[in-house]
Each structure stands twice: as structure tokens, then as C-alpha cells.
Amino acid sequence: MNFEKLFERAKEKNIEDIQVHYVADTKLDIEVLKGELENYTIADTKGLSVKGIFDGKMGTVSTEVINDDVIDFIVDSVIASANNIDSEDEVFIYGGDSIYQDVDDLYNKELEEVDAKTKIDLAFDLEKETLKLDEKIKMVQAFYSEVKHQVRILNSKGLDLSKVVNSATAGVYVIASDGKDQRTGIEYVQSNVYEDFDIENIAKEGAKRAVDALGAKSIKSGDYEVILENKASASLLAAHVSMFSAESVQKDVSLLKGKIGEKISKELISIVDDPFMKKSPRSGSFDDEGVATKYKELVSSGKLTGYLYNLKTAKKDEVGSTGNGFRNGISPTNFYIQPGKTSFDLSVQSMKKGLIISDLQGTHSGTSSVSGDFSLQASGYLVEEGKIVRPISLITVAGNYLEVLQDVTEVCNDLKMNFGYIGSPSIKIKALAIAGDE
Amino acid sequence: MLERKLITKVLEEALTTNADFSEIFIEDRSQASASMLSSKVERVHNSRTFGIGIRVAKGFHSVYGYTNSNTEEDLLKLANDLAQSFPGSQEKKNIVLGELKVGTSHKSRILPSTVEMKDKITLLKRADKAAREYSEVINQVMVNYQDYEQKVWIANSEGNYVHDVRVRTRIAIGSVAANEKSKQQGFNGPGGTHGFEFYTEMINVEEEAKEASRIATVMLTADHAPSGKMPVVIDNGFGGVIFHEACGHSLEATSVAPGMSVFSGKKGEKIASPLVTAIDDGTIENAWGSANFDDEGHPQKRRVLIKDGVLNSYMIDKLNAIRMNDEMTNSGRRESYRYAPTSRMTNTYIDNGESTFDEIISATEYGLYAKKMGGGSVNPATGDFNFSVSEAYLIRDGKIAEPVKGATLIGTGADALLKVDMVGNNLLTAQGMCGSASGSIPTDVGQPTIRVSEITVGGRKAAN
């Protein structure tokens, strides 16, 4: 599509400013099961999102039909959209920042140059390696998926930014059975450096998660000291991340409203948003509004220091955008709880009686970012006198997320990003309500 | 849309190596959405999606590719790339496409694309007003409106060639009730395979909005739910999510075929209480999960999954039928051209039994009455499920007592199905979006009021 022509047509129709956000993706998905290539998918897609200011309102439209024939559809849709909006928020098309930090390792050409056959073989090897680790392992689903993501932002104020990112995930989903009980485990690595996919290690971790959980039973209901393992803690944080969005705060649906400068957690906890994290596909020097991204601490030693902003919400609070304007709203880039010093093993050893919660299910339905209350299905291990006694399943863990942050007694050094961009180390919590079988 | 000749050429190109089946899925979709928050229209968005998915298979093994391009060059290249996964060569296949079959059911009377955006916005305003007027404690209301027209053309190397148009619309209302101590949300989101007539002929927007506010208001005064094992009465309508999550997913060929489901190899066996008969029916006129054809181009149908407690049928797509050596049930569905189809649910429900609602409540001395369910999920390998209850009450001495909040039901599907000990006669369905291997698709869940003799309830208080 000729963007110049689109901008001209927009101007003729009295659209004050206009911006296009063009995305081109290529994808490769591989899945191996029972010694067979179960899934092989290749994709090549392009999409265009357009926003424009008409009569002081922001109109939007998106299309996958991208040619000069849809220029009128785009312009008319932007106007129809703007005409129906009655939000009085001030809206912006951004002229750009003077400096955008270089992020040089977003795209690794070598990853793309490894041929598809080699990547398929990697998945076969992952399955084989995992299966041979333990006879209780009944089935292994091995996967490799890779994406190359190109973005270009162009607007009528002269901004023209682009980036290319690539990333791959390799892992195993393991089913183990001892004849009576059946359990699952998952392990994966995300990177854009092909050599990072250590088959042996992924296989070992995945196998361990499934096999160790065999024979899991419920426990007696009550309050227990809990270590929330890194991935479980990350999924709980992910369910509550909208609390940190200035949009939620301004709309009065955030528990963190009016709490800047207050202690919202134990001093042990610091939470950051890091757009420059290595090997993350979420990293980059600009957001979808064209604003330069920045590294920032949202919680500094327990104290809430700020929210995540896009242009619109920043204007309302008379601050600058934090470069978190993504997809017409606000999203974090790489958002995580800073790791502490204690090792996970030491943290377990210092526990007299408690639980390790290694997995939480249903975080999309059993949490409320409005109230902070959660009640979730969990599984993990019972710990007594510093030792893992047995696996546990079919329990629920309930609480309030802000209370959890206040009750953290230890932060481990094992930070893990959970499928992408939200991460946490394992954290120890004084007490959580557990519902079991009696 | 593509020329018949080009479709044939692409399907033939995919069979130039050793594959024995090829399929093309062409999608052209127009969507409109609008959202309101704090009584202001925040966002109005039109979108147009167009893409093509090509699937190539040998036996039950398949590869898939998709693109937004509709040029002959790009499509032939994609077909050829995919064909390379099945090395070898065969005589050139001449594919003869049959006559285009066009779906004729589930028609919409008023196409959403012919309705002006301002009339859709009026719905948001009416819902917002009704939700706020319900009670003084309602301090925030979110309303989302969505409609789409999904046009698909599906053709395969067996000559099957179909066209279907799915017109769907939904309005979703979220109300927040607040006092000094707490904030609670209520949600209600009715929808259907309907055009804009849905809002004049099928539902009353004000009543639907009030329902969201009613739930939020009741839950505001609720105490924490108790925890422990107890009888649970799950109400009709969205309560059917228990069956959808706990059993429905485990009856899909996606998990049954590779032997990953707890119900693998159990056809003809008793897997549920004899009171349970469960149906998956993609033909219900204008229902949310209905269509003329599945996304592999086969006519939708009605499947009896469980008959009087005995497993009668799985939900099986074309390739898994080969793999399982079982009959295809025309259950192939997908969100869009970006997904290869696989076995999925449509409108899935537990059928009516004989008890009345009052009989079920009065037969329960102590337990939980789960009036409105939230969402949930299941691990098909273990059958472990969890789902949240968005509106719950305790039952004491056979009567509905005080409301309780924060309850989660957990258990295993196989166990819960066997423990259903009462089934009501008030079947009702409700709308949901179901996410799985082939994306997020509209599905109806449903059931009459049922009682499960024992489920673990997760709450924050000890049982009393």
C-alpha cells in the first residue's frame, strides 16, 4: 500500500493526524508426539492498524487486506469510529523522542538460518531424550516454535520507526504414570540463540516435574506456610498486572489507586518493567505509540513508585508516558519481581512445615484484579523439617494478592519469565489458606 | 474469494509429492466492536480479516500453512512448501470440485453491517444506564458490544466445496459494586448466531444489564466461602461450564486419539451417573455455537456423547477419525484461517432430568448453591478441573441461606460425573468463548440444575 496516498486522502477528509502500525510476521510451529511429526505449521501474515484524529477524537481500524483499494475503507472507518466516541480524553499522534536506546540483539539472523529439518530433529531428540529418562514417562509432546516479527510505525508528523525481533521456544510436555496415578509436567526455554536449547536439560526438568508429582494427594485444610515457585508466582503476578496500569487507576478499578509512595509489600519486593531485557521478543526501543521505552522500578523495596503510562493517561496525570502504550491500551514490556539472594533449596530447607506450590491453575477465572481476591487450584509438595515429603494435588489456595505481597518473608534467586514477559523468582509467604480434603 | 480454477490448482499442487489429502480454507471476516466505560464510549473499532489456510495430509499426519495473500504465485508456493513434508512422487491427481454447497440455516434477518454504528452505541448506553440504576452501590460499569460476519469457503481434494456465512453478535456487561471494604464484579454476556434482530427479538438489554449488577450487589455483602468437601448444587445455564470443562474437553478427539484423555478407550462403558445424558448439538437454530458446516466443510450435526451414564460418542474431526479408526462426527472447528481445524465442542449440555429446582434444594441439608459460575479450566490428561463460582450461597436445612464469595470448585471430571445424584428439569444454555488447540471459538454451555453429592470447595474459611 502506498502510505503517502493514504495520508493524502486522510488529509482531504479532514483527519488532522494519522498513524499506521504495520506488522509482518513469519511463524514456524513444530510438534512431535509418539515418534511422529504431529504438527508442522508455517505462516506468513501481514496486518495494518490505523488510527487518526478526527474532530478531536481518535478513530481506529485494522485490516489484513492491504492494498490501495482499501484506502477509502480505512479513512471512512477512522472517521466513523471517531464520530461515535464520546470519551473526553485528550488524544495524540506522537512526533517522536530525540533519543531511542539501541537494542541490538532483538534479531538474530543465525536462528533463522538453521534449517527447518534441524529444528524438526531437535523436537524428535527432545521427545527421545525425555522418554528414556524414566520408565514411568508414558508420553512426551515435544515442541519448537519460532516467530519473526517486523514492525513499522509511520505517521503524518514525520515519525518513521521500525524493528525486527525473532524468538523461539523449545520444550516438552510430559505425561507420567505409575499405573495408578497420572501426572503432567512442562518445561521450555525461550531464546533467539539456537545453542541455548539444551536438549538434555529441558528433558531432565520436564521429566522430573511429571514423575515427582506421581502419587499426589490432597492435604488437610488449613493455613500453611508456602513457597510459591517461580512460575506459579509469575502466573499470579500476571493475573494482577493490570493494577499497575494508569488506565486502571484512573478508571478506579485498581487496588493501587492513591498508593504512590506507600508501602504495598515487604521491603524484600521490588518490581521492574524492563524493555531492554536480553533475548526477549517483548523488548524494544519504542512502544506502539512511537514513544521511547524506559527501564523503571514500579515497586522499590516495597514502596509503590509509579504506574505504567501511555500518552493519554500520562497527559491526565500530567506526567510523561513511560513507553507502555501497546495495542491501544497499556501493557508492560518485561515485567518481573527482582530476584533475591536465597537459593530455592535453602528456602525449602528452612521450612518447618509448609507447602511448595509449583503450579496454579485457572488464573484467568479464579482471580480478580479489582479486589485482589483469588482462589485457585494448586499442586506442589508437602515440606516437613526442611524436606520434601510427598506431592500434593487437588487443593485450592486462596487469599488476596496485596496481602500476599505484605506477607512475603523470603525472595529466592531463581527468576524465571513465564511464557514470555512476566516473571518472578520463588517467594516464601508466611501463610496462605489451603482447602484440601478435610 | 478465489476462482474455482485456482482453488483446484492449489489443491492439486499440494498433492504433487506423497500426500493423499489437501484442503483450503478461505476466510473473509468483517467485525465491529465498541466499548463503554464510566458511561463514555471509549473505543469503536472496525476490522477486516482476510486469509487462507492450506492443509496437506497423508493418513492422519498433516501440515498446515496460512497467509493473507491471495495471489496464485504465493498460494502455489505455500502448497508446494507444505507438500515437501511428504517426500515422494505420485501421478498427477485431477481434482474435480463438486457443486458449491451453500449453508441455508441460522440466517440473520438484519445483517450487522447494514446497521449504523450509532444504533449499536445506543445499546451500550441503554445497558450502562440500566446497570447503574439497579443499585447505589454500583460504581463502575463496563459494556462491550461485538458483531461479525465470517464468510468461509472450504474445499478439499475429495471434491467437497462449501460456503458458509456465520453472523454472530454479543453484548457483555460487567458491573462493579463497591463499599468501603470491598469491590465485587458481576458479569453477564448474552449472544447468538444472529444479526441485529437479536436485540429486539431475543433479549432485553436492560434486563441483561440488571443481572450483572444484581450479582455484583449480592456478592458485595457476601462473606468468604467455606472450604472443604460438600454437596454442591450447580444451577442451570452457565453452570454447564462444569460439564464443558470437566468432561467435554476430555471427549474431544484431540485428547482422546493420542490416548491422553481419561476417557480414552471407554466407549460403551459407564462413565457417569445414570442420571446423566449429555449432548453436543451444532444444529440448534441460531445458537451461539451453531453453523451450517463445521470448519472442514461437513454438515454440523447432533451428537449424543453420554446416554444414561454410558459413553456413547466422542467428538471427532476428519483426521482423528482415521487415527482412531472411528467415525467422524463432523466436529472440526477453528477460530480462523490462522488455525488448522481440530475436534471441538459446539453447543454442549446435560439434558433434562426429572427433579424440580425446589426438590433439589430441599433435599440438601448443608452444601453450596452455585447459582452463577465463572470460568475454569481442565487438564485433559488427569481430568483435574477448577472453576470459580461468581455467585454462591450456602444451603442450610434444605433452604438457600447467606451468599458467600470467592468459592472455587475443584475435582476430577470422571469423579464428578459419577457423583451427580440429582438432575433438574429446567435446561438452559448460556454463551461462552472456548479456547483450545484451534483457537478461541463460540460455544454454548448448558444444563438443568444438578446436584453433585460431593465436590471440594476452595474458600477462605473453615467449614461450619
Q: Give the separation between CA B235 and CA B378, rounded to whole angstroms.
A: 20
Q: What is the pLDDT of residue B260?
A: 81
Residue A334, burial from CB neighbour count under 10 angstroms (0-12, 13-18, 19+): buried
Span between the terminal Cα atoms of chain A, in Å: 65
Three-state DSSP at A386 gives coil
Q: How confident is the model at residue A328 (pLDDT cuts 50, 70, 90)?
A: confident
Sheet containing strand A416-418, strands side by side: A303-304, A296-300, A271-273, A335-337, A422-424, A416-418
A250 → chain B, closest CA residue:
B38
Q: Which of B40, B51, B386 sits opposite A362 (nearest CB)?
A: B386
Q: Which of B408, B434, B455 is the best mutation test for A, with the most CBs of A within 10 A? A: B408
Is B388 within 8 Å of A80 when comparing Cβ atoms? Answer: no
Is B64 within 8 Å of A39 when comparing Cβ atoms? Answer: yes
In this structure, are residues B156 and B107 in contact, taking their beta carbons and an 8 Å threshold? no
Helices (H) and strands (E) in chain A, counts: 10, 20
How far are the Cα atoms of A49, A74, A85, A154, B85 from residue A19, in angstroms, in the given order?
8, 12, 18, 6, 41
- Whether pLDDT at A64 is above 70: yes
A175 chain-B contacts, CB cut-off 8 A: 260, 381
State the pTM of this model. Answer: 0.88
Is B46 within 8 Å of A86 when comparing Cβ atoms? Answer: no
Question: ipTM beyond 0.90?
Answer: no
Three-state DSSP at A259 gives coil
Q: Which helix (H) or strand (E) holds B283?
A: none
Q: What is the pLDDT of residue A419?
A: 65
The DSSP secondary structure of B309-325, one letter per residue, reads TEE---B--HHHHHHHT
- Closest CA relative to residue B102, chosen from B319, B291, B285: B291
Number of A/B CB contacts below 8 angstroms equals 212
B405 chain-A contacts, CB cut-off 8 A: 373
Is B459 within 8 Å of A34 when comparing Cβ atoms? Answer: no
- Closest CA relative to residue A155, chosen from A220, A96, A196, A212: A96
Q: What is the pLDDT of residue B464?
A: 43
Q: What is the pLDDT of residue A76?
A: 95
Do strands A296-300 and B347-350 pair parallel, antiparallel, or not at all (unpaired)? unpaired
Stretch A298-308: mean pLDDT, rounded? Answer: 97
Mean pLDDT, rounded, of chain B: 94
Q: What is the pLDDT of residue A366?
A: 75
Is B408 within 8 Å of A362 when comparing Cβ atoms? Answer: yes
Nearest-CA distance A43 → chain B (Å):
5
Measured in whole angstroms, the distance separating CA B421 from the mean position of its chain's CA atoms is 26
* CA atoms B392, B397, B402, B406: torsion sign: negative
Q: Which amino acid makes up residue B370?
A: A
Helices (H) and strands (E) in chain B, counts: 9, 25
Helices B4-13 and B72-83 pack at an angle, to 10 degrees, of 30
Is A64 within 8 Å of B384 when comparing Cβ atoms? Answer: no
Mean pLDDT, rounded, of chain A: 94
Span between the terminal Cα atoms of chain B, in Å: 63
Q: Give the separation between CA B183 and CA A195, rounded to whole angstroms.
A: 49
Is A377 within 8 Å of B44 when comparing Cβ atoms? Answer: no
* pLDDT tens readout for residues B212-254: 999 999 999 999 999 899 999 999 999 999 899 889 999 999 9
Q: Which of A42, A46, A87 sits opposite B68 (nearest CB)?
A: A46
Q: Set out the domains of chain A in order of their start, with CATH numbers.
A: 3-211 (3.30.2290.10)
- With b for 16 or more beta-carbon neighbours within 10 A and e for fewer, the A59-88 pattern comes to bbbbbbbbeeebbeebbebbbbbbbbbebe
How high is the mean pLDDT in each 10-residue block of chain B (464 residues)?
Answer: 93 96 98 95 95 96 96 96 90 91 95 95 98 96 97 98 98 94 90 96 97 95 91 96 89 91 93 97 97 98 98 98 96 98 98 98 97 83 84 97 92 92 97 92 97 89 55
Is A182 within 8 Å of B381 when comparing Cβ atoms? Answer: yes
Nearest-CA distance A254 → chain B (Å):
10
The DSSP secondary structure of A166-180, one letter per residue, reads EEEEEEEEEEEE-SS
- Closest CA relative to residue A87, chosen from A289, A328, A260: A328
A222 chain-B contacts, CB cut-off 8 A: 462
In this structure, are residues A245 and A328 in contact, taking their beta carbons and an 8 Å threshold? no
Length of chain B: 464
In this structure, are residues B184 and B219 in contact, taking their beta carbons and an 8 Å threshold? yes
B406 chain-A contacts, CB cut-off 8 A: 373, 375, 398
A43 chain-B contacts, CB cut-off 8 A: 65-67, 338
How far are the Cα atoms of A361, B75, B187, B384, B459 from residue A377, in angstroms, in the given order?
5, 46, 22, 9, 11
Nearest-CA distance A247 → chain B (Å):
11
Is B458 within 8 Å of A61 when comparing Cβ atoms? Answer: no
* pLDDT tens readout for residues B61-70: 999 999 999 9
- Closest CA relative to residue B315, chosen from B341, B339, B340, B336: B341
Q: Set out the domains of chain B in order of their start, with CATH numbers.
A: 4-220 (3.30.2290.10), 223-462 (no CATH)
Stretch A180-193: mean pLDDT, rounded? Answer: 93
Name, in order, each residue with C-beta under 8 angstroms of B382's C-beta and a sequence gap of 6 or more. Answer: A182, A183, A184, A393, B262, B412
